[in-house]
Every structure is written in C-alpha cells, then in structure tokens.
Amino acid sequence: MDWMLRDLAASVPCIRHIVVLSADGLCMAQHGDERDSGDRLAAAASGIKSLAQSIASELPGDEGDVKMVLLELTGGFFYLMSAGERSYLAVTADAEVDPGLISQRMRDLVLRIGEHLSTGSRTPERAVP
C-alpha cells in the first residue's frame, strides 16, 4: 500500500502527509513525516470523524455516515475520506494545494484499494483453555 500512498503524494503537489487509519484511530499506513506524526494525525482524524458522525446524525435521513470532511486552516487543508468499512484516508496539504485535484485523487485511490483498507470490528482475544 505504501507505493499507492507515494503515488498520491507525487500526483498532487503540496501534500504534506497521508495516513490510512482504522475507525478507532490506529495508523495502518502512512506517507510523509516521522512515524509519531502519523500516529498523532490518525488519532486526531478519528476524533474529527466521531464529531462529524454526531453532526451527520442530526441531518434528516442520515445514518451518521461520514463520507468526507474538509477543514481549511490557516496553514493549509485537512481532508478525511471514508476508505472502506471502518477505514479512512487522511491527508494534510499546504494552502497552495488544488482542492479539487486532491479530492479527485483521494477518491481514485479509495476506489483502487478500498477493499484492502477495510478493517473488521475488534473483538477481544479469547483465552485458550
């Protein structure tokens, strides 16, 4: 999956970091800065996803599903996109990024590898007698 994340970064100028995360905030793959940064971004993205689900549940006819979140910040952009069952793709980019291009490339990536990004629900380990 690393080469697909590198391909996304190479195809869109100004991307800073890419993280694939599980719904509970674990970094499954990343491209960009050091590992600690990926872990922090995955945890923060999970929190944003939870907040977006709360807002979505207030909309009529919505089941609380989050398809995409976009934050425009002083220093750039943050994108969070559903990437399969219980998996998400998070991207940070500089302020000069083309928002339409990054959205399209993220959608393309999710379509290409959506099945590989899906994670099942966590279940407690059972003790072996």
In the chain, where the domains are located: 1-119
Cβ(17)–Cβ(31) below 8 Å:
yes
When the candidates are 3.30.450.30, 3.20.20.70, 1.10.3720.10, 3.30.9.10, the CATH number that belongs to 1-119 is 3.30.450.30
pLDDT over 70 at 47, yes or no: yes
Segment 40-62 mean pLDDT:
89
Cβ(10)–Cβ(34) below 8 Å:
no
Q: Cα separation of 19 and 6, whole Å? A: 11
pLDDT over 80 at 11, yes or no: yes
Instruction: Give pTM, 2 decimals.
Output: 0.84
Instruction: Please write the tens of the pLDDT for every residue from 59-111.
Output: 887 676 788 999 999 999 999 999 888 889 999 999 999 989 999 999 999 98
Q: Any idea how long the chain is?
A: 129
> Around 6, how many Cα atoms within 13 Å sit in the side-chain half-sphere?
3
Strands of the chain, DSSP E: 15-22, 27-31, 68-73, 76-82, 87-94
